[in-house]
Amino acid sequence: MDKNLLENLSLQINKELYSAYLYFAMSIYFLEINMEGFAKVIKNQIKEELNHAKKIYNYLLSRDEEIILNDIKAPDTNWINPYDTIKSALEHEKTITNDIKHLYEMSKETKDYATEVFLQWFIEEQVEEESKFRCLLDKIEQTKNLGCEIIHIDRNLKLDEEYIE
Ligand code: FEO
């Protein structure tokens, strides 16, 4: 595998683990303000991010490549309200989408067809990831128009979202 592509795939493992760490922090935020529905959604997101990291790890192992692990930075946690928190989740997912696009371009440029195919799953996954948070933001925004409380959204999320420990 191209050295630069390998380094960036290893770095992506780090970014996916950072994503899980960020969502750990967000779940704590929501639990502290007693919004268990939002916390449930975010806790499911932690599992998804760990799965993303594992997928890349398994892929690199199957290619017999050396994986380089780096420090995971602590997330910034100065969110001012649920809207701000979910907005920063969406912004974060947009940066991950750009990372995946960059990796995909690199795999095309280096004619690494196996990696190109492997990354297609992530391209589709990022559409879902962004959509999930955009939808939550819309719901929060609607509380203003409908004159209802965000606590109603939280209650519905708590009922609708399945969570398996
Ligand atoms: Fe692993 Fe949320 O992107």
CB-CB contact of 164 with 121 (8 Å): no
- pLDDT tens for 51-89 read 999 999 999 999 999 998 999 999 999 999 999 999 999
Residue 18: CA atoms inside 13 Å, Cβ hemisphere, count?
19
Q: Identify which has the larger pLDDT, 79 or 165.
A: 79
CB-CB contact of 86 with 134 (8 Å): no
**For the domain with range 3-159, which CATH number is right: 3.40.47.10, 1.20.1260.10, 1.10.40.30, 3.30.930.10?**
1.20.1260.10
Report the alpha-carbon distance of residue 161 to residue 156 in Å, rounded: 8
Q: Give the Å distance between the CA of 140 and the centre of ligand 1.
A: 22
Question: Which residues touch 90 (CB under 8 Å, ≥6 apart)?
Answer: 130, 133, 134, 137
Q: Give the Å distance between the CA of 87 and the centre of ligand 1.
A: 15
Q: How confident is the model at residue 141 (pLDDT cuts 50, 70, 90)?
A: confident
Q: Give the Å distance between the CA of 93 and the centre of ligand 1.
A: 6
Q: What is the pTM of this model?
A: 0.91
* Range in 14-18, 28-32, 79-83, 161-165 with the lowest mean pLDDT: 161-165
Report the alpha-carbon distance of residue 91 to residue 43 in Å, rounded: 18
Closest ligand 1 atom to Cα of 15? 1
Report the alpha-carbon distance of residue 57 to residue 66 in Å, rounded: 10
Copy the structure tokens of residue 28.
């704590």
CB-CB contact of 127 with 22 (8 Å): no
Domain ranges across the chain: 3-159
Closest ligand 1 atom to Cα of 49? 1
Closest ligand 1 atom to Cα of 93? 2
